[in-house]
Amino acid sequence: MKVVLEHLTKRFPSRNKKSNEEVIAANDLTFEIPDGKLIGLLGPSGCGKSTTLNMISGLLKPTEGKIFFGEDDVTDLPAEHRGVGLVFQSYALYPHLTVRQNITFPLENLKGDKKLTKEQMAEKALEAAKLVQIDQLMDRKPSELSGGQQQRVAIARALVKMPKVLLLDEPLSNLDARLRLQTREELRRIQRETGITTIFVTHDQEEAMSISDSIVVMKDGLVHQIGKPQEVYDNPVNLFVAKFLGTPPINVFQGSVRGKDIYIGEEKVLETNSLQLSNDSDVVVAVRPEGFLLDENGPLTLNLDRVEVMGRDISVVSTHPDCENASIRSIIDSDNEVNTDSKTVRFSLKPKKMHIFNKETGERIPFTVK
Ligand code: ADP
Ligand code: MG
């Protein structure tokens, strides 16, 4: 089931009595979530992810705009009739019910021709439990389960009615690092197996990148960019998106463009072939950690701090007066030998791994190289 948002907007009245300024939690969102895909809704805390998800689920009424499931306008349809499965950060299981009863719960109230027998319910509950691999725990109470197991019960409960759309709001945030990794891989497997259109909300870019067919990057209620994770990483539309994606983060320098050449300080770091900028001006130059090539004649000189060996790679940690990151991280192959006696280290830059941005607007300025 595809989901379409058209000019979806949510305004909340001001919480501050003195000012009348309202909060636009979701601002004119227009995009489509294709049938059977997993979309990551990604952005910093407070950017409007939960608000957007809650409008799609029907828990929250939009101020403006429309929501379609397939061809059907569901904007005014109550949540219980939308056929969505919901999972939140807190598992919200019924403590006095067993795992089996918790999973069966959404099936108990089905009416008319949807009504199920006890046997049918048990069968569906077991099917959902098997999907998330908790079928051996059916007779336990939530208090007898680990956090990871409890979240699986919550996922099974959301899946038991085979929803048309699965909505997950930071479902892994309460799990420890290892379980978070494991559970996100399982979510991906379950989503592939069931083919349920899924929207996965997270503030964790790595989580979103690893699990999603496409990501929607939001900030301040606005969608900044939509695309496949790799495409967005490689071609961020603006400095916010470039900085939000990637660990270690992109290295951000104050630089300039002179003619067709890109400078950091007085060092010409790249000669371009064409560049969409009419006048020489100051720009932001951003370089991914994997964009540095150790090169003793390279154009960029950094002040060497230390070298961290990470097995497969080496992380060269350095500083530069024009760099806004407290330390610059350059990830290079472990075959490289860095002279740690030297106070400086020189690099050339991979053009595909660097971007320049308008200093005022933050928009990316495209360029090509020879
Ligand atoms: P996220 O899930 O991305 O962290 P939210 O959707 O929860 O963000 O919130 C987006 C913005 O809307 C925030 O500024 C938040 O304070 C505000 N907001 C959320 N819910 C309400 C509400 N019920 N009343 C007023 N403001 C709200
Ligand atoms: Mg939220």
- Starting at the earlier edge strand, list the strands of the sheet with 354-358: 267-271, 261-264, 251-258, 281-287, 354-358, 364-365
Please say if the pLDDT value at position 18 is more than 80: no
pTM for the predicted model, two decimal places: 0.93
Q: Read off φ and ψ for residue 204, nearest 5 degrees.
A: -95, 110
Alpha-carbon distance 34 to 21, whole Å?
A: 35
**What 3-state class would DSSP assign to 113?**
helix
Label residue 178 by pLDDT band (50, 70, 90): confident
Query: Please, is 348 exposed, middle or buried when counting C-beta atoms within 10 Å of its C-beta (0-12, 13-18, 19+)?
Result: middle
Ligand 2 center to 200 CA (angstroms): 11
Work out the pLDDT band at 78, boundaries 50, 70, 90: very high
The residue that leads in pLDDT, 320 or 114, is 320
pLDDT tens-place string over residues 322-335: 999 999 999 999 99
Substitution site in 9, 51, 52, 54 for ligand 1 pocket (most atoms within 8 Å of beta carbon)? 51
**What size, in residues, is the chain?**
370
- Is pLDDT of 223 > 90? yes
User: Degrees (nearest 5) of the Cα angle 107, 108, 109?
Assistant: 95
In single-letter form, the type of residue at position 192 comes to: R
CATH of domain 3-244: 3.40.50.300
pLDDT in tens, 289-311: 999 999 999 999 999 999 999 88
Q: What is the structure's pLDDT at 138?
A: 96
Angstrom distance (rounded) from CA 67 to CA 56: 7
Q: Mean pLDDT score of the chain, rounded to an integer?
A: 95
CB 299 within 8 A of CB 316: no
Angstrom distances, CA of residue 10 to CA of 40, 231, 251? 20, 29, 35
Ligand 1 pocket test, candidate residues 8, 10, 11, 12, most atoms within 8 A of CB? 12
The full set of domain ranges for the chain reads 3-244, 254-369
Q: CA-CA distances (angstroms) from residue 198 to 57, 84, 104?
A: 12, 10, 21
Q: Indicate whether residue 175 lines ligand 1 (CB < 6 A).
A: no
pLDDT tens digit string along 262-297?
A: 999 999 999 999 998 888 999 999 999 999 999 999
| Beta carbon of 37 within 6 Å of any ligand 1 atom | no
For residue 310, the number of C-alpha atoms closer than 13 Å in the C-beta half-sphere is: 13
Q: What would the two tokens of residue 236 be?
A: 């961020």
32 token code pair: 């489509």
Nearest CA to ligand 1 atom 1: 46
Instruction: Judge if the beta carbon of residue 44 lies within 6 A of ligand 1.
Output: no
Please tell me what DSSP assigns to residue 361: T
Say yes or no to pLDDT of 260 above 80.
yes
